[in-house]
Every structure is written in C-alpha cells, then in structure tokens.
Amino acid sequence: MQLHNCGATWRESAPVHEVFRGETVWKGDVEVFDLHDHPKAKRAYGWSHPDGPDNKTERFVAVLEIPPVVSPVTAVRAAIRASSKK
C-alpha cells in the first residue's frame, strides 16, 4: 500500500450501507487489505466515491485499522466524521 509505505494483500470486498437518521449517507463496497510491515496496523480499508462539482471526479479513501476503526463499517464512519469536520 503505497500511501502508507508498506506491503498489502487484498483480502475481500465488504458491502457497507451506512444510514443516519433514516437516510443513506454512504453505500458501496469497501476493499479490505492485510498490511505487511506496518508499525501500527494489521489491516487497511479503501474505497472511492464520486466527488467535486456535480460528482464529476472520484475521491479515493484509505483508512488504517487502528481503534476505534476495527471493521469496514467503522472505517466508513471515521471517514464520514473526518470529512464533516472539514
């Protein structure tokens, strides 16, 4: 995984559907990777989604499995929280 300067092996695609107050805030597949030689995390989660004006560009997201991130669902939640703080 070039972003985190370590090796990675793809493990699986995990479907995630995150709902807040009855509304879908994110739905898609999260790619799960086992990390090799990372000092803090054994796993990472990655996905992309439309972004920018009129959703014409694509944004790539990678989240390390460091508590409280412990699953694809919690990775998506952490990314949503981080993005809402910007």
Find the domain containing 78 and state its range: 2-84
Average pLDDT (53-64) is: 91
Centre a 10 Å sphere on the Cβ of residue 44 and count the other Cβ atoms it contains: 24
At 70, the amino acid letter reads V
Between 30 and 2, residue with greater pLDDT: 30
6-52 per-position pLDDT tens digit? 889 999 999 999 999 999 999 999 999 999 989 899 999 999 988 88
Query: Own/partner pairs for 46-49, CB < 8 Å, 24+ apart?
Result: 47/76
Nearest to 17 by CA among 62, 80, 60: 80
- Specify the number of domains making up the chain: 1
**pTM for this entry:** 0.87
Average pLDDT (72-77) is: 97
